[in-house]
Chains A and B, each alone.
Chain A
Amino acid sequence: MYLMENERKLTIARAMAEATAQEMRLDEKVFVMGEDIGQLGGVYGNTRGLIEEFGEERVRDTPISETAFIGAAVGAAQDGMRPVVELMFVDFYGVCMDAIYNLMAKNIYFSGGNFKVPMVLMSSVGGGYSDGGQHSQCLYGTFAHLPGMKVVCPSNAYDAKGLMTQAIREDNPVVYLYHKGLQGMGWLGTEAGANVHTPEDAYTIPFGQANVVREGTDVTIVGLGMGVHDALKAADKLAEAGTSAEVIDLRTLVPLDRDTVFNSVKKTGRLIVVDEDYQSFGVSGEIITTVVERDHSVLRSTPARVAYPDIPIPFSRPMERFCLPNPDKIVTAFNQMKDN
């Protein structure tokens, strides 16, 4: 007899840990390394339960030396292993960028394709809980800008699990960025919309497929990670005023699903990009360019962006709140649009 599955909501933290555990059961070459990912289960909960099931050989707590353990992971990956490595805060990329960008991202190319580098570099992004400019950045635009790495950022637990399974099975290096405010860790802020039904059986979400999370006809709002939740709340507010907003969750930046973005704007004629990463030289500009360079005539209005201002992130909570994207800023951006 077929029994309907009970609802099974997970936090993104649990979804990431579940996907990792399932891949570790299937493939003994998968192992995890990073700071506090063993006994503690990860500062953001995303490796909870792994050391108890798989032991210290496959779940390796490392010293605070990102250069060493990310470099070691690249070597292990080229030698046939499939490491999942955590950089605790993406902001710490500076100390290990040679391992990330001159080794992990390029060695497939440098070896003429003779080596694969099947590793996942996971890292926390985002602010909103007053942790200062060295613990609060998104920086996904930086990783997406530099060729050689796939870059993903889930907005909910279902996507988090499918993208993690896909990332571990990939033969290319994947930068897996998760927003702290979506992890279900209370002290980092809580976004209940990120906790969604997540099947227990393993599944993958192919990279390069954006998700239309809300359909609409008057304006397209594009975001990723936390920006998707801001966009959905803005869409609710816009609906009260009689405006129908379509919301697109990019899910992956590299590869980028430009078709879904373009086709949506072709339908709505208006575009707002929401991005917690810095405004200039980044994701929001790339999304607008995606539309404009294909056919600018689909736009009824000048596109708008609600992104982080080009300043280091303030520690002060009121100042940080002032800078962060939020639903009201998206609504204001729409109301200020002037049709051609």
Chain B
Amino acid sequence: MNITVPTNLWDEDTDAVITSWLVSDGAQVNEGDLIAEIMVEKIQHEIRSPSTGSIKISQPAEAVVSKGSVIGEIS
């Protein structure tokens, strides 16, 4: 299952930056776990795992992302 930046975290169509991945590539995660933080104009938002499994990170920390961007995958 893709890990997607939610479209409802912030209002404007501003880009965000992944400030930290809070799990390593390949780590085991549970659905709902906090896995990353992204920042939009100095406000930080949380990204949680959409399912349980092993994580594959496709967008590294400091990457610029937008609403709906795929930043990784849980398999």
Query: Is A302 an interface residue, CB under 8 A from the partner?
Result: no
Given contacts A6-B33, A190-B19, contact A45 B44 (CB under 8 A): yes
Contact indicator A184/B27 (Cβ below 8 Å)? no
Point out the residues of chain B lying under 8 angstroms from A6, CB to CB.
Answer: 23, 27-30, 33
Q: Is A2 an interface residue (CB 8 A)?
A: no
- Asked whether A192 and B20 contact (CB < 8 A) given A6-B28, A11-B37, the answer is yes
Judge whether A147 is part of the interface by a CB distance below 8 angstroms: no
| B58 at interface by CB-CB < 8 Å | no
Contact A195 B22 (CB under 8 A): yes
Question: Residue A187 contacts which of B24, B37, B39 (CB distance < 8 angstroms)?
Answer: B39
Chain B residue nearest to A48 (CB atoms) is B44
Q: Is A10 an interface residue (CB 8 A)?
A: yes
For A192, list chain B residues within 8 Å (CB): 20-21, 61
Q: Which B24-51 residues have a C-beta within 8 angstroms of A?
A: 24, 27-30, 33, 37, 39, 42, 44
Determine the chain A residues whose CB is within 8 A of the CB of B70 once the complex forms. none
**Is A185's beta carbon under 8 Å from chain B?**
yes
Bound Cα distance A9, B55 (Å): 14
Interface residues in A191-234 by Cβ distance below 8 A to B read: 192, 195
Cβ–Cβ < 8 Å partners of A185 in chain B? 19, 39, 42, 44
A184-B37, A187-B39, A190-B61 are contacts. A195–B20 as well, Cβ < 8 Å? yes
Instruction: For B29, give the chain A residue with the smallest CB separation.
Output: A6
Q: Given that A186-B17, A190-B61, A192-B61 are contacting pairs, would A9 and B39 also be in contact in the complex, using a CB cutoff of 8 Å?
A: no
B20, chain A: closest CB distance, angstroms: 5
User: Out of B22, B24, B62, which one reaches A11, CB within 8 Å?
Assistant: B22
Known contacts A184-B37, A190-B62; A11/B27 CB under 8 A: no
A7 at the interface (CB under 8 A from B): yes
Distance between B69 CB and nearest chain A CB, rounded to angstroms:
16
Chain A nearest CB from B64 CB (Å) reads: 11
**Complex Cα spacing A184 to B46, Å:** 12
Query: A103 vs B36: C-alpha distance in the bound complex, in angstroms?
Result: 42
Measured between C-beta atoms, what is the minimum distance from A174 to chain B in Å?
26
A residues near B17, Cβ cutoff 8 Å: 186
Q: State the CA gap A192–B57 with chains docked (Å).
A: 15
Question: CA A9 – CA B23 in complex, angstroms?
Answer: 6
Within 8 A of B (CB), among A18-60: 45
Q: When A45-B44, A185-B39, A185-B44 are in contact, do A190 and B29 touch as well, CB less than 8 Å?
A: no
Cα of A186 to Cα of B24 in the assembled complex, Å: 18
The answer for the CA separation of A291 and B61 in the assembled complex, in Å, is: 39
Asked if residues A7 and B27 are in contact (CB atoms below 8 Å), the reply is yes
Q: Assuming A6-B28, A9-B21, A9-B23, what are 20 further A-B pairs, CB within 8 angstroms?
A: A6-B30, A7-B24, A7-B27, A7-B28, A8-B22, A9-B24, A11-B20, A45-B44, A184-B20, A185-B39, A185-B44, A186-B19, A186-B39, A186-B62, A187-B42, A190-B20, A190-B61, A192-B61, A195-B20, A195-B22
12 A-B pairs with C-beta separation under 8 A = A7-B23, A7-B28, A8-B22, A9-B22, A11-B37, A45-B44, A184-B37, A185-B42, A186-B17, A187-B39, A192-B61, A195-B22
**Nearest 8 CB-CB pairings of A with B:** A186-B19, A9-B22, A186-B39, A7-B27, A184-B20, A186-B17, A195-B20, A6-B28
Q: Which residues of A contact B (CB under 8 A)?
A: 6-11, 45, 184-187, 190, 192, 195
